[in-house]
Amino acid sequence: MAHRLLIIEDDAESNDHLVQHFRQRQWQVETALGVNDAKSILLEDEFNPHVIIADLGLPDGNILDHLEELQEQVGLTEWVFLYEPGSSSDDSRIDDLTFDFLHKPYDIKRLDTITRRALRTVLTERLAQSYSSQHKQKYHVDSFYGSSQQAKSLKTMLNKLVDIPISAMIITGETGTGKGLVARIIHHSGLRSDGPIVELNCAALPKDLLESQLFGHESGAFTGAAKKFRGLFEQADGGTLFLDEIGDMDIELQSKLLKAIEDQTIRRLGSEKEIHVDVQVIAATGVNLNEAIAQGQFRDDLYHRISVFKVHLPSLRERKDDLMELVPRIIGEFNTKANKRVNHISDASWEKLLSYDWPGNVRELRNVLERCVLLSNNEHLPDEWLQLSSSGSYNAQQAPSADHISIPIDGTMGLEDVELAMLTKALLLEDNNVTAAAKRLKITRETMRYRMKKFEL
């Protein structure tokens, strides 16, 4: 599908040059000669451009004066402005309202680069918007499965939280208990469901990079900052910023986070300008923040600010009754993804599942059941692939990530079983796209087809 571009330019020569240039690059292009012409296309036609390149020196007015009205009516699109240096247009005002701008005469290669970046941004935003209704159905309060007293109490709390405005809150619990799921439930079922949700693992980045990701930076703010970057606070404006593993955030950065939450303003690195942001901050941690405060590793004022609303998730060993609901649901999910048909669990398997302490919680349960479903040959859950340690010990660092599989080398698994597991996992990760799965396994599509036929996948 061609990407749509609207060019608003009254100069015929410039207009023709831009149209020819972008049509050669496979854009579907419409043109407007002035403000009224542009409003007609945007408000009355169904063109719905991805990107708009607009000259500010139009004979019938300044497009900036109509931008707010157009943005409300048009939907998700990105604007790139062109104008003469020294004109009455205010660079700072334009910077606030547009994706980017260029002074005339401009470098067409530079305009190309900006337009491609604008397209990537708007495609991402539109994709997120298209998923919004699906997420509202996927992430509702009952998405936290379980009928135990602990699960019921949690869902009662969530039903209250989704109906009230929240500036900041914290979710606590052991690793694998579902803190990310609960954050998404609060967002997609709450008052900010029409806004974006932006997620960041604070433990995954060093301090300097984390600061840049959160607050953004201006071009040239530091070595390697070649272009302006809108930080995650700005990206989450009107929605939710989910900060996982907040207990691992550098204490100096915590003060900037507190100010952003308190004042609802941020300042990009390399800028003196404060930017207003309307963001709901949901933090999560698996560490004891009271102990971290006592050790001087976490700010008590930040803790009190984010713990106005606090949700604690019970461990799976505290709600083992929920296994009777969780296990069939998870097996059904992987049956669908991997085109399997597991629907029978032996008494021996149930005994193992119920007696195990699940130190890795629901994440560990999902990993175990995924392995069993992928390696199943019929409708029976293969007991031999549960592989639950008698001690119940679990190392989260050793748990297989989403794009890894756990393969024993103790003689219980043959070479063909290994091959089947790899093929099935690759197809699962690529939503049954054979070409993508073959690429992931570094084999040809024909080889992939042959092996799928061999294993009747």
Q: Determine contact, residues 80/95, Cβ cutoff 8 Å.
A: no
User: Per-residue pLDDT averaged across 166-192, rounded?
Assistant: 96
Domains and CATH numbers, the chain: 3-130 (3.40.50.2300), 139-312 (3.40.50.300), 316-454 (1.10.8.60)
* Predicted pLDDT at 405: 63
pLDDT at 397: 44
Q: Which amino acid is at 431?
A: D
Q: Which two tokens stand for residue 426?
A: 């690759």
Mean pLDDT is lowest, of 167-176, 203-212, 313-322, for 203-212
Nearest to 146 by CA among 358, 320, 14: 320
300: which strand partners? none
Residue 266's beta-bridge partner residues?
275
Considering Cα of 400, then 406, then 409, then 412, what sign does the dihedral take?
A: positive
Q: At residue 128, does pLDDT exceed 70?
A: no
Q: Express each pLDDT in 47-58 by its tens digit.
A: 889 999 998 878
The pLDDT value given to residue 399: 46
Burial class (CB in 10 A: 0-12, 13-18, 19+), 57: middle
**Stronger pLDDT, 421 or 278, i.e. the higher one:** 278
Please indicate, yes or no, whether the overall pTM of this predicted structure exceeds 0.75.
no
Determine the average pLDDT of the residues in 238-244. Answer: 97
Phi, psi for 312 (deg, rounded to 5): -110, 130
Q: What SS3 string covers the chain?
A: CCEEEEEECCCHHHHHHHHHHHHHCCEEEEEECCHHHHHHHHHHCCCCCCEEEEECCECCECHHHHHHHHHHHHCCCEEEEEECCCCCCCHHHHHHHCCEEEECCCCHHHHHHHHHHHHHHHHHHHHHHHHHHHHHHHCCHHHCCCCCHHHHHHHHHHHHHCCCCCCEEEEECCCCCCHHHHHHHHHHCCCCCCCCEEEEECCCCCHHHHHHHHHCECCCCCCCCCCCECCHHHHCCCCEEEEECHHHCCHHHHHHHHHHHHHCEEECECCCCEEECCCEEEEEECCCHHHHHHCCCCCHHHHHHHCCCEEECCCHHHHHHHHHHHHHHHHHHHHHHHCCCCCECCHHHHHHHHHCCCCCHHHHHHHHHHHHHHCCCCCECCHHHCCCCCCCCCCCCCCCCCCCCCCCCCCCCCHHHHHHHHHHHHHHHCCCCHHHHHHHHCCCHHHHHHHHHHCCC
pLDDT of residue 134: 56
Q: How confident is the model at residue 361 (pLDDT cuts 50, 70, 90)?
A: very high
Q: How far apart are CA 47 and CA 141, in angstroms?
A: 38
Integer CA distances (angstroms), 446 to 30, 164, 218, 437, 438, in order: 43, 55, 48, 12, 9
- Alpha-carbon span 186 to 239, nearest angstrom: 11
Q: Give the separation between CA 337 and CA 327, rounded to whole angstroms.
A: 16
Q: What's residue 394's pLDDT?
A: 43
